[in-house]
Amino acid sequence: MTDFENAIEIASLTKKYDGFTLDDVNFSVPKGSIMGFIGQNGAGKTTTIRALLNIIAVDAGNIKLLGMDNIKDEIEIKKRISVVFDELPFQDIFSAKQIARILCDIYPKWDNQIYEGYLERFQLPMKKKVGEFSKGMKMKLQIAAALSHSAELLIMDEATTGLDPVVRNEILDIFLEYLQNENHSILMSSHITSDLEKVADSVTFIDRGKILISGYKDDILENHGLIKCSKKDFQDIEKEDFISARLSDFGAEIMISDKSAMKRKYAGLLLEPTTLEEIMLFYVNRTKKEWS
Amino acid sequence: MKGLIYRDFCLVKKNWIPVFCISVGAVIWNILVQLSFEYGNFKKYLLDDPNDTSGAGEVSRVMIYYIGLYMIPYLALILMDTLSVVRADLPVKWATNRKIFPVTALQWTVSIYSIKVIGLLIAIILFLINGSIMAHMTGNIFGIYEFNNMLLFACFYLAFDWVQMAFMVRVRTEKEMNSAAASPLLVLIPMFALAYPKCKSYAFKLETLFPEDAEIEVQERISQTKGLLQSEFGVYRDAVAPYLWLIVLALFALGFYLTYLGIKRREK
């Protein structure tokens, strides 16, 4: 089934636990794009991904991957996608060669030449036990395996967490290469927003089980901004005009979500571009409204 | 599926190699013991001991024959143990992470049970080799009686195993692992409860046969005890003997089904 617009479609996804609810999650990942799925620890990213993969049962909602139902067509979907978690799902006693031997039987389209090519590129030894690998090497091994069976969709859950900037950069370059094929898509969950700013086409921000923002990254960054002013000027800003404000002894930083309108309304105030990290920070504190 | 079987085999290899070596070593040990009874010190000091009129030497030879015979399948049945696989799977959260792969619950179950089948076949082959060699050297009979005893071993082991597997596939933490490891008690305790009255009556009969002050030759004691065993328990064993293979298959099937159900269960 190649005739689909979105690699991932999530509609009305709800999952209840004691003390946490994934509440009516809706978003889509267009085919051929990379979506950054951001949120702080415990926001619901991993729960959403587990629901996508039918690892956990959901209370409500419909999920489609590559145009197919994630429950009815589970096996067929999993033949065509790759999932990378933050830890390698193989014991330390296995070598890269042994892992290939296991996976080549599981994935019908496994290509050992491509796998060995990636190992060579990443300078990973074939016969060394993965227990002797560093964290960065294990992640590269996972990615080599993920890219070796013609997967159309990559789902990464905190895959770059704990890696040094050099390795992270290397991995992000691989993703951009992967996306050269317009049939390939990536869903990448992370709280390292700087990585997503580099590579993501679109971003979905989740906090406490709810989706707060979902859309094209450039649009989000274009629409949001930080007003920097004195505490006195801050008093003149209406509460409904901003997401939240960080107050300090030096003044106030106020996150707004409609830059063009606020530019006109508060023309005298300094309005600066913002980053995904700042957006995340201010949204997380939205209920407090003013914080320091 | 070959990939999954290969994975499980790599995880049990660490246990299999020493157990296999010990089993082969035990066969060699049996041969050496029987050679000693034939030509060596056991013959000199046990069989040909002029002070031994009770025939204890001959009794020792027979006992060692049976110990050597049945030690092999006990060791080799450990080859079917997949607890080490589950234990090794805990740190990598395999119970969850395996669900990212396009493998059905049935395929997973088949791969786990393939290891068990291979272990059982190796146990049977080692038993046959050992028994044949021992029978040839000692002149003892090695036939359907001994083979059925080995299958009885397998039945008891499989009864514990299917309970343990049903718990083990649901294990996600070290604490749950300890509960799973103790689960064979669910089979053992009822078995003891059922067997206890019979064993008690058997002990009473032994006391009647061999009063404390009676002077009875060792060989006579062995012979009468064997007769009593045959009459008390041998009857049951002989009754189920024609069906032992069916019981083994049924226990395998039950364990397979429960393992399959456990693997299909999802996190709530």
Confidence bin at B232 (pLDDT 50/70/90): low
Question: What is the structure's pLDDT at B268?
Answer: 45
Q: How confident is the model at residue B221 (pLDDT cuts 50, 70, 90)?
A: low
C-alpha B237/C-alpha A143 separation (Å) is 57
Residues A101, B3: C-beta atoms closer than 8 Å? yes
Interface test with B, best of A47, A88, A106 (most B CBs within 10 A): A106
d(Cα A292, Cα A39) in Å, to the nearest integer? Answer: 20
Q: Searching chain B, which residue's CA lies closest to the CA of residue A94?
A: B10
Contact state of A106 with B103 under an 8 Å Cβ cutoff: yes
Whether residue A85 lies within 8 A of chain B, CB to CB, comes out as yes
How much is the pLDDT for A8?
96
Minimum-distance CB partner of B10 among A89, A94, A105: A94
Does residue A194 share a domain with residue A250?
Answer: no
Of B254, B248, B265, which is closest to residue B99 (Cα–Cα)? B265
Q: How many CB atoms lie within 10 A of CB B211?
A: 8
A139 falls within a domain: yes
* A239 and A184 belong to one structural domain: no
Q: Looking at A52-66, A141-155, B134-148, which range is the least confident one?
A: B134-148
Out of A54, A93, A104, the one facing B3 most closely (by C-beta) is A104
Q: Give me the pLDDT at residue A70, please.
A: 93
Domain boundary among A215, A236, A265: A215
Question: Do A54 and A152 fall into the same domain?
Answer: yes
State mean pLDDT over B2-11.
89
Q: Which residues contact A231 (CB under 8 A, 6 or more apart)?
A: A247, A251, A252
Q: Is the pLDDT of residue A288 over 80?
A: yes
Work out the average pLDDT over B11-21. 81
Most confident range, picked from A226-230, B119-123, B236-240: A226-230
Q: Cα(B120)–Cα(B257) distance, rounded to whole angstroms?
A: 18
In degrees and rounded to multiples of 5, residue B18 shows phi and psi of: -65, -40
Mean pLDDT value of segment A202-222: 93
Closest CA to A163 of A143, A185, A149: A143
pLDDT value at residue A75: 93
Cβ count near B132 (within 10 Å):
11
* Whether residue A163 has pLDDT greater than 60: yes
Mean pLDDT score across all residues of chain B: 76
Work out the average pLDDT over B135-156.
76
Beta partners for residue A46, in sequence order: none
Cite the beta strand spans of chain A per DSSP E. 6-17, 20-30, 34-38, 60-65, 68-69, 81-84, 153-157, 185-190, 202-207, 210-216, 225-229, 244-248, 251-256, 270-272, 290-291
Q: Please tell me which residue, A261 or B165, carries the higher pLDDT value.
A: A261
Residue B251 C-alpha, separation from nearest chain A C-alpha, in angstroms: 29
Copy the structure tokens of residue A216.
Answer: 């094209």
What CATH number is associated with residue A127?
Answer: 3.40.50.300
Q: Does A20 touch chain B (CB under 8 A)?
A: no
Q: Measured between CB atoms, does A110 come within 8 Å of chain B?
A: no
User: Would you state the pLDDT for residue B52?
Assistant: 62
Distance CA A105, CA A110 (A): 8
Domain ranges of chain B: 2-264
pLDDT of residue A214: 93
A93 touches A129 (CB < 8 A): yes
Is pLDDT of B116 > 90?
Answer: no
pLDDT for B5 beyond 50: yes
What average pLDDT does the segment B26-48 reach?
80
Indicate if the pLDDT at residue B209 is higher than 70: no
Do A54 and B99 lie within an 8 Å CB cutoff?
yes
Chain centre distance of CA A183: 19
Token pair for B73: 């399948």
In the structure, what pLDDT confidence band is assigned to residue A153 with cuts at 50, 70 and 90?
very high
Task: Tell me which residue in A79, A87, A103 faces B3 most closely, judged by beta carbons.
Answer: A103
Whether the per-residue pLDDT at B239 is higher than 80: the answer is no
Burial class, A94, CB count within 10 angstroms (exposed 0-12 / middle 13-18 / buried 19+): buried
pLDDT of residue B180: 74
* More confidently predicted of A13 and B156: A13
B3·A79 Cβ contact <8 A: no
Question: How many helices (H) and strands (E) would you count in chain A?
Answer: 11, 15
In A, which residues are within 8 Å of B93 by CB distance?
87, 89
More reliable by pLDDT, A174 or B140? A174
Band of pLDDT at residue B53, cut at 50, 70 and 90 = low
Q: With respect to residue A65, please indicate whether it lies within any of the assigned structural domains.
A: yes
Q: How far is A91 from chain B (nearest CA, A)?
A: 6
Q: Any CB–CB contact under 8 A between A150 and chain B?
A: no
For residue B215, the model assigns a pLDDT of 64
* B88: closest CA of chain A, how far (Å): 7
pLDDT at B206 over 80: no
Does the structure show a pLDDT above 90 at A97? yes
Supply B45's token pair.
């000091």
Is A106 in Cβ contact with B101 (below 8 Å)?
A: yes
Same-domain check for residues A186 and A62: yes
At residue B217, the pLDDT reads 64
pLDDT at position A45 = 93
A89-114: average pLDDT: 94
Above 90 in pLDDT, residue B89? Answer: no
Please give the pLDDT value at position A66: 95
Q: Is the pLDDT of residue B132 over 80?
A: yes
Whether A1 is in a domain gets the answer no
For residue A157, name the pLDDT band (cuts at 50, 70, 90).
very high
Higher pLDDT, B190 or A29: A29
Query: In angstroms, rounded to a whole number, what is the distance separating the alpha carbons of residues A136 and A169?
Result: 11
Q: Same structural domain for residues A40 and A177?
A: yes
SS (H, E, C) A64-114: EECCEECCCCHHHHHHHEEEECCCCCCCCCCEHHHHHHHHHHHCCCCCHHH
Contacts of A291 (CB under 8 A, 6+ apart): A244, A245, A246, A247, A285
Q: Which residues of B touch A54 (CB under 8 A)?
A: 99, 266
Point out the least confidently predicted range of A7-11, A100-104, B168-172: B168-172
Which of A164, A187, A215 is the last residue before a domain boundary?
Answer: A215
Query: Are A103 and A130 members of one domain?
Result: yes
Per-residue pLDDT reduced to its tens digit, A7-60:
999 999 999 998 999 999 999 999 999 999 999 888 999 999 999 999 888 999
Tell whether the model's pLDDT for residue B60 goes beyond 60. yes
- Whether residue A100 is predicted with pLDDT greater than 60 in this model: the reply is yes
Higher pLDDT, B27 or A144: A144
The region of weakest confidence among A268-272, B157-161, B214-218 is B214-218
Mean pLDDT, residues B201-213 taken together = 67
Q: A85–B101: do the CB atoms touch at under 8 Å?
A: no
Contact state of A102 with B4 under an 8 Å Cβ cutoff: yes
Answer whether A56 sits within 8 Å of B94, measured CB to CB.
no
Q: What is the least distance, in Å, from the CA of B13 to any CA of chain A? A: 11
Choose among B52, B23, B57: nearest CA to B38: B57
What residue type is assigned to position A66 of the chain? L
Distances (CA, A) of A188 to A85, A161, B97: 10, 11, 17
Q: What is the pLDDT of residue A240?
A: 87
| Residues of A whose CB is below 8 A from B7 | 94, 102
A91 contacts B3? CB cut-off 8 A = no
> Span B213-230, mean pLDDT?
64
Task: State whether A13 and A54 are in the same domain.
Answer: yes
> Closest Cα to residue A241, out of A289, A208, A170, A171?
A289
Q: Helix B144-168 crosses helix B174-182 at what angle (to 10 degrees)? A: 150
Name the 3-class secondary structure at A280: helix
Which helix H or strand E contains A139, and what residues bound it? helix A135-146
Residue range B161-173: mean pLDDT, rounded: 75
Residues A41 and A168 in one domain: yes
User: Helix, strand, coil shares of chain A as percentages rounded to 5?
Assistant: 35, 30, 35
Work out the average pLDDT over B43-69. 69
Instruction: Report the pLDDT value the prediction gives residue B57, as an integer from 0 to 100.
Output: 65
B201-B205-B208 Cα angle (round to 5): 140
Tell me how many domains chain A contains: 2
With beta carbons under 8 A apart, name residues in chain B contacting A91. 11, 88-89, 91-92
String of DSSP letters for chain B: -HHHHHHHHHHHHHHHHHHHHHHHHHHHHHHHHHHHHHHSHHIIIIIS-TT--S-HHHHHHHHHHHHHHHHHHHHHHGGG--HHHHHHHTTTTHHHHGGGSS--HHHHHHHHHHHHHHHHHHHHHHHHHHHHHHHHHH----SHHHHHHHHHHHHHHHHHHHHHHHHHTT--SHHHHHHHHHTTHHHHHHHHHHHHHHHHHHHHHHHHHS-TT----HHHHHHHHHHHHIIIIIHHHHHHGGGHHHHHHHHHHHHHHHHHHHHH--B-
Determine the Cα–Cα distance for residues A94 and A83; give it in Å rounded to an integer. 19
Q: How far is CA B75 from CA A168, A282, B12, B71, in A?
A: 50, 64, 15, 6
Is there a single domain that holds both residue A205 and residue A257?
no
Q: For B98, name the nearest residue in chain A, comparing CA atoms only.
A: A89
Q: Which domain holds residue A284?
A: 224-291
How many CB atoms are closer than 10 A to CB B35?
Answer: 13
Residue A202 has pLDDT above 90, yes or no: yes
